[in-house]
Structure 1
Amino acid sequence: MSAHEDALAEYRRRRDFERTAEPGPGPGREGGEPVFVVQIHDATRLHFDFRLEADGVLKSWAIPKGPSGNPQDRRLAMPTEDHPYEYRDFEGVIAPGEYGAGPVIIWDEGTWHQDRGTSAAEALRRGHLSFTLGGHKLHGGWALTRFREGAEREAWLLTKRDDRHATHGNGTPDPTRARSVRTGRTLRQVAAQAPATPGES
Protein backbone atom coordinates (compact mmCIF):
# COMPACT_ATOMS: atom_id res chain seq x y z
CA MET A 1 0.00 0.00 0.00
CA SER A 2 1.40 3.42 -0.97
CA ALA A 3 1.71 6.25 1.55
CA HIS A 4 -1.14 8.04 -0.26
CA GLU A 5 -3.40 4.98 -0.02
CA ASP A 6 -2.44 4.46 3.61
CA ALA A 7 -3.35 8.06 4.45
CA LEU A 8 -6.87 7.43 3.13
CA ALA A 9 -7.37 4.03 4.78
CA GLU A 10 -9.58 5.46 7.54
CA TYR A 11 -11.61 7.43 4.99
CA ARG A 12 -12.28 4.24 3.03
CA ARG A 13 -13.07 2.20 6.13
CA ARG A 14 -15.82 4.55 7.28
CA ARG A 15 -17.74 4.66 3.99
CA ASP A 16 -19.81 2.43 1.72
CA PHE A 17 -19.14 3.89 -1.71
CA GLU A 18 -22.10 2.07 -3.20
CA ARG A 19 -24.38 4.16 -0.97
CA THR A 20 -22.66 7.44 -0.22
CA ALA A 21 -22.50 10.28 -2.73
CA GLU A 22 -19.03 11.15 -1.47
CA PRO A 23 -16.08 10.57 -3.82
CA GLY A 24 -13.93 7.49 -3.48
CA PRO A 25 -10.19 7.93 -2.97
CA GLY A 26 -8.53 9.14 -6.16
CA PRO A 27 -4.88 9.35 -7.15
CA GLY A 28 -4.45 12.85 -5.75
CA ARG A 29 -2.44 15.26 -7.89
CA GLU A 30 1.04 16.59 -8.36
CA GLY A 31 1.99 20.22 -8.83
CA GLY A 32 -0.08 23.38 -8.65
CA GLU A 33 -0.80 25.63 -5.70
CA PRO A 34 -2.24 23.74 -2.74
CA VAL A 35 -5.95 24.33 -2.21
CA PHE A 36 -8.18 24.68 0.79
CA VAL A 37 -11.92 24.18 1.18
CA VAL A 38 -14.35 24.91 3.99
CA GLN A 39 -17.56 22.91 3.93
CA ILE A 40 -20.58 23.31 6.20
CA HIS A 41 -21.92 19.93 7.25
CA ASP A 42 -25.23 19.37 9.03
CA ALA A 43 -24.54 15.93 10.48
CA THR A 44 -25.18 14.82 14.08
CA ARG A 45 -23.97 18.31 14.98
CA LEU A 46 -23.83 21.27 12.63
CA HIS A 47 -20.19 22.20 12.03
CA PHE A 48 -17.63 23.48 9.55
CA ASP A 49 -15.06 21.16 7.96
CA PHE A 50 -11.75 22.93 7.33
CA ARG A 51 -9.47 21.18 4.83
CA LEU A 52 -5.94 21.97 3.62
CA GLU A 53 -4.30 20.11 0.74
CA ALA A 54 -0.98 18.61 1.84
CA ASP A 55 0.90 15.46 0.81
CA GLY A 56 -1.72 14.58 -1.81
CA VAL A 57 -4.71 14.56 0.57
CA LEU A 58 -6.94 17.05 2.37
CA LYS A 59 -5.88 17.38 6.00
CA SER A 60 -9.14 17.95 7.85
CA TRP A 61 -10.51 19.47 11.05
CA ALA A 62 -14.10 19.81 12.29
CA ILE A 63 -14.71 23.32 13.66
CA PRO A 64 -17.98 23.48 15.64
CA LYS A 65 -18.32 27.29 15.60
CA GLY A 66 -16.65 27.87 12.25
CA PRO A 67 -13.62 30.03 11.44
CA SER A 68 -13.64 33.59 12.80
CA GLY A 69 -11.95 36.59 11.25
CA ASN A 70 -11.57 38.16 14.71
CA PRO A 71 -8.03 37.55 16.04
CA GLN A 72 -9.38 37.43 19.60
CA ASP A 73 -11.49 34.36 18.81
CA ARG A 74 -9.91 30.95 19.23
CA ARG A 75 -11.85 28.26 17.44
CA LEU A 76 -11.73 24.65 18.57
CA ALA A 77 -10.61 22.43 15.65
CA MET A 78 -10.90 18.67 16.07
CA PRO A 79 -8.83 16.64 13.58
CA THR A 80 -10.70 14.13 11.45
CA GLU A 81 -9.49 11.55 8.95
CA ASP A 82 -7.63 12.68 5.82
CA HIS A 83 -9.94 13.14 2.83
CA PRO A 84 -9.11 12.66 -0.86
CA TYR A 85 -8.30 15.68 -3.00
CA GLU A 86 -11.52 15.05 -4.93
CA TYR A 87 -13.55 15.88 -1.81
CA ARG A 88 -12.95 19.57 -2.46
CA ASP A 89 -15.75 19.36 -5.07
CA PHE A 90 -18.27 17.57 -2.87
CA GLU A 91 -21.56 19.35 -2.26
CA GLY A 92 -24.68 17.29 -1.68
CA VAL A 93 -26.33 14.96 0.78
CA ILE A 94 -24.70 12.03 2.55
CA ALA A 95 -27.34 9.31 2.69
CA PRO A 96 -29.14 8.43 5.95
CA GLY A 97 -27.42 5.56 7.71
CA GLU A 98 -24.02 6.50 6.30
CA TYR A 99 -21.17 8.02 8.27
CA GLY A 100 -21.77 11.77 8.57
CA ALA A 101 -25.30 11.61 7.11
CA GLY A 102 -26.66 15.03 6.19
CA PRO A 103 -26.29 17.91 3.71
CA VAL A 104 -22.95 19.54 2.85
CA ILE A 105 -22.24 22.85 1.11
CA ILE A 106 -18.95 24.35 -0.07
CA TRP A 107 -18.80 27.57 1.96
CA ASP A 108 -15.38 28.77 0.82
CA GLU A 109 -12.44 27.61 -1.27
CA GLY A 110 -9.19 28.90 -2.67
CA THR A 111 -5.46 28.41 -2.37
CA TRP A 112 -3.14 28.49 0.62
CA HIS A 113 0.56 28.63 1.35
CA GLN A 114 2.66 27.99 4.40
CA ASP A 115 4.38 30.97 5.99
CA ARG A 116 7.51 29.15 7.14
CA GLY A 117 10.09 26.90 5.54
CA THR A 118 9.36 23.44 6.94
CA SER A 119 6.95 21.11 5.18
CA ALA A 120 3.29 21.21 6.16
CA ALA A 121 3.58 17.62 7.38
CA GLU A 122 6.49 18.53 9.67
CA ALA A 123 4.73 21.65 10.96
CA LEU A 124 1.62 19.62 11.78
CA ARG A 125 3.73 16.95 13.46
CA ARG A 126 5.29 19.65 15.65
CA GLY A 127 1.87 21.09 16.44
CA HIS A 128 1.87 24.53 14.82
CA LEU A 129 1.10 25.55 11.24
CA SER A 130 1.15 29.21 10.20
CA PHE A 131 -0.37 29.86 6.78
CA THR A 132 -2.06 32.34 4.45
CA LEU A 133 -5.43 31.78 2.77
CA GLY A 134 -6.58 33.23 -0.53
CA GLY A 135 -10.27 32.38 -0.66
CA HIS A 136 -13.52 34.08 -1.55
CA LYS A 137 -14.38 34.69 2.12
CA LEU A 138 -11.28 33.81 4.12
CA HIS A 139 -8.08 35.79 3.50
CA GLY A 140 -4.77 36.59 5.11
CA GLY A 141 -2.83 34.91 7.88
CA TRP A 142 -4.09 32.07 10.07
CA ALA A 143 -2.65 29.48 12.42
CA LEU A 144 -3.51 26.00 13.60
CA THR A 145 -2.03 25.14 16.99
CA ARG A 146 -2.31 21.83 18.80
CA PHE A 147 -3.09 22.22 22.49
CA ARG A 148 -3.98 18.66 23.47
CA GLU A 149 -2.57 15.28 22.51
CA GLY A 150 -1.72 11.95 24.10
CA ALA A 151 -4.31 9.83 25.89
CA GLU A 152 -7.09 12.38 25.35
CA ARG A 153 -8.47 13.11 21.91
CA GLU A 154 -6.15 15.43 19.99
CA ALA A 155 -7.41 19.00 19.70
CA TRP A 156 -6.26 22.17 17.94
CA LEU A 157 -7.13 25.87 17.82
CA LEU A 158 -7.71 27.86 14.62
CA THR A 159 -6.90 31.55 14.99
CA LYS A 160 -6.79 34.57 12.68
CA ARG A 161 -3.67 36.73 12.46
CA ASP A 162 -4.20 40.42 13.22
CA ASP A 163 -3.64 41.70 9.69
CA ARG A 164 -5.54 43.88 7.22
CA HIS A 165 -8.00 41.05 6.59
CA ALA A 166 -8.95 40.70 10.25
CA THR A 167 -12.33 41.74 11.63
CA HIS A 168 -12.87 43.07 15.13
CA GLY A 169 -16.56 42.47 15.68
CA ASN A 170 -18.54 39.26 15.45
CA GLY A 171 -16.41 37.18 13.12
CA THR A 172 -18.60 34.09 13.23
CA PRO A 173 -20.57 33.07 10.11
CA ASP A 174 -24.17 31.89 10.55
CA PRO A 175 -24.20 28.36 9.10
CA THR A 176 -27.99 28.25 8.73
CA ARG A 177 -27.96 31.29 6.44
CA ALA A 178 -24.63 30.67 4.76
CA ARG A 179 -24.61 30.01 1.03
CA SER A 180 -22.40 27.84 -1.12
CA VAL A 181 -19.60 29.70 -2.85
CA ARG A 182 -20.17 27.43 -5.87
CA THR A 183 -23.96 27.27 -6.24
CA GLY A 184 -25.41 29.92 -3.93
CA ARG A 185 -27.48 27.27 -2.15
CA THR A 186 -28.10 26.98 1.59
CA LEU A 187 -27.93 23.73 3.54
CA ARG A 188 -31.73 23.60 3.53
CA GLN A 189 -31.86 23.96 -0.26
CA VAL A 190 -29.28 21.22 -0.73
CA ALA A 191 -31.19 18.93 1.63
CA ALA A 192 -34.47 19.58 -0.23
CA GLN A 193 -32.91 18.48 -3.52
CA ALA A 194 -31.59 15.21 -2.12
CA PRO A 195 -32.57 12.09 -4.12
CA ALA A 196 -34.82 9.54 -2.49
CA THR A 197 -32.95 7.00 -0.39
CA PRO A 198 -33.38 3.26 -1.13
CA GLY A 199 -36.79 2.05 -0.03
CA GLU A 200 -38.36 5.51 -0.11
CA SER A 201 -40.54 7.04 -2.81
Structure 2
Amino acid sequence: MALQEYNQKRNFSSTAEPEGKMRKSTTEMIFVVQKHAASHLYYDFRLESEGVLKSWVIPKGPSMNPAHKRLALQVEDHPYNYRDFEGTIPTGNYGAGTVIVWDKGTYILVDDEKSGYLNPYLQKGQVRFIIKGKKLKGEFILVKLKAKKDNSWLLIKAKDEYATEEEVLLQDKSVISNATVESLNKVI
Protein backbone atom coordinates (compact mmCIF):
# COMPACT_ATOMS: atom_id res chain seq x y z
CA MET A 1 0.00 0.00 0.00
CA ALA A 2 2.82 2.45 0.88
CA LEU A 3 4.25 2.31 -2.66
CA GLN A 4 0.97 2.20 -4.57
CA GLU A 5 1.15 5.89 -5.59
CA TYR A 6 4.78 5.50 -6.69
CA ASN A 7 3.93 2.48 -8.88
CA GLN A 8 0.82 4.11 -10.37
CA LYS A 9 2.82 7.14 -11.57
CA ARG A 10 5.40 5.08 -13.48
CA ASN A 11 5.51 2.95 -16.62
CA PHE A 12 8.27 0.44 -15.86
CA SER A 13 8.45 -0.74 -19.46
CA SER A 14 9.78 2.70 -20.47
CA THR A 15 11.75 3.88 -17.42
CA ALA A 16 14.77 2.33 -15.70
CA GLU A 17 13.47 3.40 -12.28
CA PRO A 18 13.13 0.45 -9.89
CA GLU A 19 9.69 -1.02 -9.33
CA GLY A 20 8.21 -0.19 -5.95
CA LYS A 21 8.80 -3.02 -3.47
CA MET A 22 9.26 -2.70 0.28
CA ARG A 23 12.68 -3.51 1.72
CA LYS A 24 14.62 -2.43 4.80
CA SER A 25 18.26 -1.83 5.63
CA THR A 26 19.85 -4.60 7.58
CA THR A 27 21.90 -2.20 9.71
CA GLU A 28 21.60 1.60 9.97
CA MET A 29 18.80 3.64 8.41
CA ILE A 30 19.82 5.30 5.14
CA PHE A 31 19.24 8.70 3.61
CA VAL A 32 19.84 9.82 0.05
CA VAL A 33 19.69 13.13 -1.79
CA GLN A 34 19.22 12.94 -5.54
CA LYS A 35 19.82 15.94 -7.79
CA HIS A 36 17.06 15.89 -10.38
CA ALA A 37 17.06 17.99 -13.54
CA ALA A 38 13.50 17.67 -14.78
CA SER A 39 11.32 20.58 -15.92
CA HIS A 40 13.19 22.46 -13.14
CA LEU A 41 16.32 21.61 -11.16
CA TYR A 42 15.58 20.36 -7.66
CA TYR A 43 16.82 17.92 -5.01
CA ASP A 44 14.94 14.84 -3.80
CA PHE A 45 15.59 14.31 -0.08
CA ARG A 46 14.81 10.79 1.18
CA LEU A 47 14.83 9.16 4.64
CA GLU A 48 14.34 5.43 5.07
CA SER A 49 11.46 4.38 7.31
CA GLU A 50 9.54 1.11 7.58
CA GLY A 51 10.70 -0.36 4.26
CA VAL A 52 10.32 2.77 2.09
CA LEU A 53 12.06 6.08 1.47
CA LYS A 54 9.98 9.00 2.79
CA SER A 55 10.56 11.73 0.20
CA TRP A 56 10.59 15.52 -0.07
CA VAL A 57 11.36 17.75 -3.06
CA ILE A 58 13.65 20.64 -2.09
CA PRO A 59 13.57 23.22 -4.91
CA LYS A 60 16.64 25.18 -3.71
CA GLY A 61 18.51 22.13 -2.38
CA PRO A 62 19.68 21.42 1.16
CA SER A 63 21.97 23.83 2.99
CA MET A 64 24.56 23.50 5.73
CA ASN A 65 23.75 27.08 6.86
CA PRO A 66 21.29 27.25 9.80
CA ALA A 67 20.08 30.64 8.52
CA HIS A 68 18.68 28.96 5.38
CA LYS A 69 15.23 27.48 5.82
CA ARG A 70 14.58 25.36 2.74
CA LEU A 71 11.06 24.58 1.52
CA ALA A 72 10.59 20.80 1.38
CA LEU A 73 7.47 19.45 -0.32
CA GLN A 74 6.59 15.93 0.78
CA VAL A 75 5.87 13.63 -2.16
CA GLU A 76 5.03 9.94 -2.57
CA ASP A 77 7.15 7.32 -0.81
CA HIS A 78 9.85 5.75 -2.97
CA PRO A 79 11.17 2.17 -2.80
CA TYR A 80 14.37 1.39 -0.91
CA ASN A 81 15.99 0.34 -4.24
CA TYR A 82 15.68 3.93 -5.45
CA ARG A 83 18.63 4.88 -3.18
CA ASP A 84 21.17 4.16 -5.96
CA PHE A 85 19.11 5.21 -8.98
CA GLU A 86 20.98 7.37 -11.48
CA GLY A 87 20.08 7.94 -15.08
CA THR A 88 17.59 9.62 -17.36
CA ILE A 89 13.86 9.20 -16.99
CA PRO A 90 12.60 9.40 -20.61
CA THR A 91 10.35 12.19 -21.87
CA GLY A 92 6.69 11.34 -21.43
CA ASN A 93 7.29 9.66 -18.06
CA TYR A 94 6.54 11.11 -14.63
CA GLY A 95 9.59 13.10 -13.46
CA ALA A 96 11.25 13.00 -16.90
CA GLY A 97 14.83 14.24 -16.65
CA THR A 98 18.28 13.31 -15.37
CA VAL A 99 18.98 12.06 -11.83
CA ILE A 100 22.26 11.63 -9.93
CA VAL A 101 22.90 10.54 -6.34
CA TRP A 102 24.17 13.83 -4.96
CA ASP A 103 24.69 12.54 -1.41
CA LYS A 104 23.98 9.45 0.64
CA GLY A 105 24.77 7.92 3.99
CA THR A 106 23.01 7.01 7.21
CA TYR A 107 20.92 8.83 9.78
CA ILE A 108 19.55 8.44 13.29
CA LEU A 109 16.59 10.12 14.91
CA VAL A 110 17.65 12.49 17.70
CA ASP A 111 14.71 11.56 19.93
CA ASP A 112 14.66 7.83 19.17
CA GLU A 113 18.00 6.58 17.82
CA LYS A 114 17.00 2.93 17.63
CA SER A 115 13.59 2.75 15.96
CA GLY A 116 13.88 4.65 12.70
CA TYR A 117 10.09 5.06 12.69
CA LEU A 118 9.45 8.49 11.26
CA ASN A 119 5.65 8.31 11.23
CA PRO A 120 5.04 9.45 14.84
CA TYR A 121 7.32 12.47 14.26
CA LEU A 122 5.80 13.23 10.85
CA GLN A 123 2.35 13.23 12.48
CA LYS A 124 3.60 15.65 15.16
CA GLY A 125 5.05 17.88 12.44
CA GLN A 126 8.70 17.85 13.54
CA VAL A 127 11.53 15.39 12.89
CA ARG A 128 15.04 15.91 14.30
CA PHE A 129 17.78 13.67 12.91
CA ILE A 130 21.56 13.41 12.57
CA ILE A 131 22.96 12.72 9.11
CA LYS A 132 26.26 11.00 8.40
CA GLY A 133 26.70 11.69 4.69
CA LYS A 134 29.54 12.48 2.34
CA LYS A 135 28.38 16.11 1.90
CA LEU A 136 25.67 16.64 4.52
CA LYS A 137 26.61 16.08 8.15
CA GLY A 138 25.18 16.77 11.55
CA GLU A 139 21.74 17.57 12.88
CA PHE A 140 18.83 18.67 10.70
CA ILE A 141 15.18 19.39 11.46
CA LEU A 142 12.12 18.93 9.28
CA VAL A 143 9.24 21.17 10.45
CA LYS A 144 5.76 21.08 8.98
CA LEU A 145 4.28 24.41 7.90
CA LYS A 146 0.80 24.67 9.39
CA ALA A 147 -0.53 27.50 7.22
CA LYS A 148 0.51 25.88 3.93
CA LYS A 149 -0.59 22.76 2.05
CA ASP A 150 -0.46 19.45 3.91
CA ASN A 151 2.81 18.53 2.19
CA SER A 152 4.78 21.73 2.98
CA TRP A 153 7.75 21.43 5.32
CA LEU A 154 10.99 23.30 6.04
CA LEU A 155 14.38 21.58 6.13
CA ILE A 156 16.68 23.44 8.55
CA LYS A 157 20.31 22.77 9.47
CA ALA A 158 20.81 22.86 13.24
CA LYS A 159 23.58 24.94 14.75
CA ASP A 160 26.31 22.38 15.42
CA GLU A 161 29.99 21.79 14.64
CA TYR A 162 29.15 21.01 10.98
CA ALA A 163 27.17 24.19 10.31
CA THR A 164 28.81 26.48 7.76
CA GLU A 165 28.03 29.36 5.43
CA GLU A 166 29.89 27.62 2.60
CA GLU A 167 27.62 26.62 -0.28
CA VAL A 168 27.45 22.81 -0.22
CA LEU A 169 25.56 22.71 -3.54
CA LEU A 170 28.78 23.73 -5.35
CA GLN A 171 29.82 20.11 -4.77
CA ASP A 172 27.81 19.06 -7.80
CA LYS A 173 29.10 15.54 -8.54
CA SER A 174 27.46 12.21 -7.83
CA VAL A 175 28.83 10.35 -4.82
CA ILE A 176 28.39 7.11 -6.80
CA SER A 177 29.53 7.82 -10.36
CA ASN A 178 31.33 11.17 -9.98
CA ALA A 179 29.09 12.44 -12.85
CA THR A 180 27.26 15.74 -12.89
CA VAL A 181 23.69 16.07 -14.12
CA GLU A 182 25.04 17.90 -17.17
CA SER A 183 27.68 15.27 -18.01
CA LEU A 184 25.20 12.41 -17.55
CA ASN A 185 22.82 14.22 -19.93
CA LYS A 186 25.55 14.31 -22.61
CA VAL A 187 26.24 10.57 -22.30
CA ILE A 188 22.61 9.59 -22.74
After TM superposition, is the score higher than 0.5?
yes
Cα gap change, 1:59/1:27 in structure 2, threshold over 3 Å: closer, same or farther?
Answer: closer
Matched, 1:173 2:172: no
1:37 to 32, 35, 41: 32
- Percent identity for Structure 1 against Structure 2: 44
- The residue number in structure 2 matching 1:144 is 142
- The residue number in structure 2 matching 1:133 is 131
2:72 to 53, 69, 77: 77
Partners of 2:74 and 2:109 lie apart in 1 by: 19
For structure 2, which runs of at least 5 residues remain unmatched after alignment?
none
Q: CA deviation at 1:193?
A: 1.8
- The residue number in structure 1 matching 2:8 is 13
Equivalent runs, 1:181-192 vs 2, <5 Å: 181-192=175-186
**2:123 partner amino acid:** R
DSSP 3-state at the match of 1:21: coil
Cα gap change, 1:153/1:43 in structure 2, threshold over 3 Å: closer, same or farther?
Answer: farther
For structure 1, which runs of at least 5 residues remain unmatched after alignment?
1-5, 195-201
Matched, 1:161 2:158: yes
Partners of 1:46 and 1:148 lie apart in 2 by: 26
**1:129 partner amino acid:** V
**1:19 partner amino acid:** S
- The residue number in structure 2 matching 1:199 is none
- The residue number in structure 1 matching 2:110 is 115
Q: CA deviation at 1:149?
A: 6.3
Partners of 2:47 and 2:150 lie apart in 1 by: 20
Structure exhibiting the larger radius of gyration computed from Cα positions: 1
Matched, 1:26 2:21: yes
With normalisation by structure 1, the TM-score equals 0.87
Partners of 2:133 and 2:151 lie apart in 1 by: 27
Aligned 8 A contact 2:17 2:89 in 1:
yes
Find runs of 4+ consecutive structure 1 residues off by over 6 angstroms. none
Q: CA deviation at 1:96?
A: 0.7
Aligned 8 A contact 1:148 1:154 in 2:
no
Q: CA deviation at 1:153?
A: 4.7
- The residue number in structure 2 matching 1:193 is 187
Please give the per-residue CA displacement for 1:111-146, whole angstroms capped at 9, x wherever unaligned.
000000383110011110000000000000000000
Q: CA deviation at 1:89?
A: 0.8
Between the two proteins, the alignment pairs up a number of residues equal to: 185
With normalisation by structure 2, the TM-score equals 0.93
Matched, 1:62 2:57: yes
Partners of 1:30 and 1:178 lie apart in 2 by: 27
Aligned 8 A contact 2:89 2:98 in 1:
yes
Partners of 1:156 and 1:85 lie apart in 2 by: 22
Q: CA deviation at 1:170?
A: 4.4
DSSP 3-state at the match of 2:92: coil
